[in-house]
Structure 1
Amino acid sequence: MRQAHHEMIVPTPGQGLHEITREVVSWVADTGIATGLLTLFVRHTSCSLLIQENAAPAARRDLERYFTRIAPESRAYEHDDEGPDDMPAHLRAALTAVSLSIPVIGGRPALGTWQGVYLFEHRSAAHRRRVALHVIGE
Structure 2
Amino acid sequence: MTKMDIVQRSITLSRRTKGFYIVTSELTSKLPEIKNFSMGTLNLFIQHTSAALTINENWDSDTREDLRDIMDKVVPESHSYRHNAEGLDDMPAHAKSSLIGPSLTIPISNGQLNLGTWQDIQLAEFRRSPHSRTIVCTIQGLRS
Q: Which TM-score applies when normalising by structure 2?
A: 0.90
Per the TM alignment, residue 104 of structure 1 is displaced from its structure 2 partner at its CA by 0.4
Aligned counterpart, 1:30:
33
CA distance in 2, matches of 1:112, 1:29: 20
Offset from partner CA, 1:51-90 (integer Å, 9 cap, x none): 0101101111111100011111136100001110010000
Q: 1:17-96 alignment to 2 at 5 Å?
A: 17-31=20-34, 32-74=36-78, 76-96=80-100
Per the TM alignment, residue 19 of structure 1 is displaced from its structure 2 partner at its CA by 1.4
Aligned partner of residue 63 in structure 2, secondary structure: helix
Aligned partner of residue 88 in structure 1, secondary structure: helix
Offset from partner CA, 1:84-137 (integer Å, 9 cap, x none): 001000010011010000110011111000001011100011101000100101
Contact 1:29 1:107 in 2 (8 A): no
Per the TM alignment, residue 27 of structure 1 is displaced from its structure 2 partner at its CA by 4.0
Contact 1:55 1:114 in 2 (8 A): yes
Runs of 4+ in structure 1 deviating by more than 2 angstroms, as ranges, are 23-31
CA distance in 2, matches of 1:107, 1:29: 10
Contact 2:53 2:124 in 1 (8 A): yes
Q: Where do 5+ consecutive residues of structure 1 fail to align?
A: none
1:130 aligns with 2:134: yes
How big is the alpha-carbon RMSD for the aligned residues of Structure 1 and Structure 2? Answer: 1.3
Q: Which TM-score applies when normalising by structure 1?
A: 0.94
**How many equivalent residue pairs?**
138
CA distance in 2, matches of 1:35, 1:24: 18
Aligned partner of residue 81 in structure 2, secondary structure: coil
Offset from partner CA, 1:2-39 (integer Å, 9 cap, x none): 11111111123310012111133334443422210110
Going from structure 1 to structure 2, the CA distance change for 1:13 and 1:25 (only over 3 Å counts) comes to: closer
- What percent identity do the matched residue pairs reach? 36
